[in-house]
């Protein structure tokens, strides 16, 4: 007998015979506490969350997902869904619930003629990049190769190629979705268009996506990319110039700024290791020669400690930050959108950098806009198309005894930057304690999302997420 969390918050009992029947219906399997598979599934990227589901359903295909959804719905049980397990809020796993594990569904099939890719929900960005780059094609995604494609896409998705090719959701052509009633439907502009609209930014609120179809673009195998490192003392004037360059850059050029203590990178003089620095990370989504011209103004700024911008394999650039984002650390993020970076906003950012609570903590400013900004705010569930910069206060540390200090630092900097922000939010950067910020995440699209939720999930079966309540 298993005591599990019910949808109404009470406990519900499931007997072994019912679990055996579920297990027999699967290509995958049901895994219980004490097994290696159970522990593999429940451990996620962010070690802040040590949780124990009642049992794990490891799915290997859409039929397994359908059987799992039918089981939990009919039994009135609560269910979490794990794909890549990289989500900052830890929603992939919850205590005493059913955990649907999609992490072994990692296929990526590329059609180089139509320039499309069909991607399973357990794939990570590195899987996608390796297969698409075989044909010198890409789908715009994020900046860490271990991020799951499913969570990234359902929340929006942006990275080095967004300004040129749009967000990940802007390149989604269709998706296969298992809805709360157990139906397997195709969501696209011509089939269930309301569901297609909602999953492009609305997260996992409307069903379980079992495959994504993406439009691909020509790029690679090399891109002009790399880092320019400056002393943090030069940041006040350099950040002002950076904002000007960002405002006038061609769509092909993306430059992010990172403020942190310098890691022991091999190209940095040893005396700079552990000291606060300002890093410009640049990528040009086009030809190398054109890229050299586009980054000239950035490279001319100040007197850098190091400049290592050069041609890199796209797959290598996409994984360049992986060593700073390995699993097992404690992570807490806070995020704002900015239309511009005023001198006052820059001063606020630098005041936070002067008080970093751990060497692994950083603040990055993502440079977006371009093609992303030419999509209407109501064209997808993700509404914030005008934001030119997205801040992530990326708080990261190892020692649990530093939890209070590190989280408070992030919250204080978030509060200090709020007067400069648009008030909107990127749902993929929202921690678990920001349920009250959902209005900021969806703005005027919130009411429409609640209606779509009521149509496809009226009982709120898919609720262990940044939840949208049914209208």
Q: Has this prediction a pTM greater than 0.85?
A: yes
Residue written as tokens 């519900």? 12
Closest CA to 178 of 92, 61, 98: 61
Stretch 25-49: mean pLDDT: 96
Task: Check whether the bond before 221 is cis (ω within 30° of 0).
Answer: yes
pLDDT, one tens digit per residue, over 120-169 is: 999 999 999 999 999 999 999 999 999 999 999 999 999 999 999 999 99
DSSP assigned state of 84: S
Residues 26-38 have a mean pLDDT of 97
Instruction: Give the integer Cα–Cα distance in Å for 244 and 247.
Output: 5
DSSP states along 93-108: --TTSEEEE-TT---E
pLDDT of residue 399: 97
pLDDT in tens, 337-346: 999 999 999 9
Q: What is residue 127's predicted lDDT score, i.e. its pLDDT? A: 98
Ramachandran class of 52: left when φ > 0, alpha when ψ lies in -120 to 50, beta otherwise: beta
Q: What is the mean pLDDT of the chain?
A: 96
Residue 1, pLDDT > 80, answer no
Write the DSSP assignment of 26-55 as a string of letters.
Answer: -SSEEE-TTSHHHHHHH--S-TT-----SE
Percent above pLDDT 70 for the chain: 100
Element (DSSP H or E) covering residue 421:
none
Helix (H) or strand (E) holding 337: strand 330-338
Residue 2 scores a pLDDT above 90: no
For the stretch 290-302, pLDDT in tens is 999 999 999 999 9
What pLDDT score was predicted for residue 434?
84
Residue-level length of the chain: 471
Q: What is the mean pLDDT of residues 32-42?
A: 96
CB hemisphere CA count around 164 (13 angstroms): 22
pLDDT tens by residue, 48-67: 999 999 999 999 999 999 99
Please name the residue that has the structure tokens 């919130």: 446
Looking at residue 437, its pLDDT comes to 77
| Token digits of residue 199 | 């999953």
| Strands of 84-215, DSSP E | 98-101, 108-111, 116-119, 137-138, 172-178, 184-187, 208-215
Q: What pLDDT band is residue 26 in, cutting at 50, 70 and 90?
A: very high
- For 126-201, strand residue ranges (E) read 137-138, 172-178, 184-187
**Quick check: helix, strand or coil at residue 109?**
strand
Give me the domains of the chain, ranges plus CATH numbers. Answer: 2-101 (3.30.43.10), 108-218+444-456 (3.30.465.10), 222-431 (3.40.462.20)
Q: What are the DSSP calls for 236-295, one per residue?
A: HHHHHHHHHHHHH--TTEEEEEEEEEPP--TTS-GGGTTSEEEEEEEEESS-HHHHHHHT
Residue 439 pLDDT: 79
Does residue 442 have a pLDDT over 90? yes
| pLDDT of amino acid 443 | 93
Q: What digits encode the pLDDT tens for the residues 216-266?
A: 999 999 999 999 999 999 999 999 999 999 999 999 999 999 999 999 999
Q: Residue 174: its pLDDT value, please?
A: 98
Give the C-alpha separation, 233 to 368, whole Å: 25
191's tokens: 């089939």
Q: How far is CA 268 from CA 188, 249, 278, 353, in A?
A: 48, 27, 13, 20
pLDDT-derived band at 419 (thresholds 50, 70, 90) equals very high
Is the per-residue pLDDT at 386 higher than 90? Answer: no
Mean pLDDT for the stretch of residues 177-186: 98
CB-neighbour burial class of residue 348 (10 A; exposed 0-12, middle 13-18, buried 19+): middle
| Four-residue CA torsion sign, 273, 279, 282, 288 | negative
Residues near 260 by Cβ (< 8 Å), separated by ≥ 6?
A: 276, 277, 279, 353, 356, 361, 362, 363
Asked whether residue 435 carries a pLDDT value surpassing 80, the answer given is no
Tell me how far apart the alpha carbons of residues 442 and 456 are, in angstroms, rounded to a whole number.
18
Mean pLDDT of 400-406: 97
Confirm if 463 and 123 have CB atoms less than 8 A apart.
no
Query: In the prediction, which pLDDT does 107 show?
Result: 98
393 membership: H or E segment, kind and range: strand 389-397
């Amino acid at each position: 007998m298993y005591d599990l969390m019910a949808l109404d918050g009470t406990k519900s009992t499931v007997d072994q015979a019912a679990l055996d029947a579920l297990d027999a219906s699967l290509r995958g399997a049901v895994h219980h506490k004490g097994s290696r598979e159970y522990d593999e599934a429940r451990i996620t990227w962010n070690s802040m969350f040590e949780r124990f589901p009642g049992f794990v359903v490891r799915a290997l295909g859409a039929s397994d997902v359908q059987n799992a959804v039918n089981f939990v719905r009919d039994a009135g049980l609560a269910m979490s869904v794990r794909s890549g397990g990289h989500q900052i809020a830890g929603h992939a796993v919850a205590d005493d619930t059913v955990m649907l594990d999609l992490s072994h569904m990692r296929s990526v099939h590329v059609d180089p003629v139509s320039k499309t890719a069909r991607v399973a929900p357990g794939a990570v960005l590195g899987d996608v990049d390796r297969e698409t780059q075989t044909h010198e094609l890409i789908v715009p995604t994020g900046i860490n190769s271990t991020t799951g494609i499913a969570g990234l896409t359902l929340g929006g998705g942006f990275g080095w190629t967004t300004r040129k090719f749009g967000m990940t959701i802007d390149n989604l052509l269709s998706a296969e979705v298992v809805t709360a009633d157990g139906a397997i439907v195709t969501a696209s502009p011509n089939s269930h268009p309301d569901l297609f609209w909602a999953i492009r930014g609305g997260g996992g609120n409307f069903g379980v996506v079992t495959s994504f179809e993406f439009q691909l673009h020509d790029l690679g195998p090399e891109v002009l990319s790399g880092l320019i490192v400056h002393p943090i003392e030069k940041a006040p004037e350099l950040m002002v110039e950076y904002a000007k360059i960002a405002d006038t850059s061609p769509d092909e050029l993306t430059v992010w700024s990172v403020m942190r203590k310098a890691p022991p990178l091999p190209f940095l003089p040893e005396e700079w290791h552990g000291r606060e620095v300002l890093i410009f990370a640049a990528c040009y989504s086009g030809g190398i020669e054109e890229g050299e011209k586009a980054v000239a103004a950035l490279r001319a700024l100040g007197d850098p400690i190091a400049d290592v911008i050069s041609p890199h394999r796209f797959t290598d650039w996409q994984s360049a930050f992986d060593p700073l984002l390995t699993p097992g650390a404690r992570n807490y993020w806070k995020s704002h959108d900015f239309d511009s970076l005023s001198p006052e906003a820059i001063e606020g950012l630098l005041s936070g950098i002067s008080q970093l609570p751990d060497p692994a903590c950083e603040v990055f400013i993502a440079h977006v806009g371009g093609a992303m900004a030419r999509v209407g705010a109501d064209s997808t569930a993700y509404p914030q198309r005008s934001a030119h910069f997205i801040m992530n206060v990326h708080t990261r540390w190892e020692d649990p005894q530093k939890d209070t200090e590190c989280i408070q630092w992030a919250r204080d900097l978030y509060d200090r930057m709020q007067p400069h922000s648009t008030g909107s939010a990127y749902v993929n950067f929202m921690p678990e304690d920001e349920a009250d910020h959902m209005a900021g995440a969806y703005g005027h699209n919130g009411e429409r999302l609640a209606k779509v939720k009521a149509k496809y999930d009226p009982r709120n079966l898919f609720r262990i997420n940044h939840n949208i309540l049914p209208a």
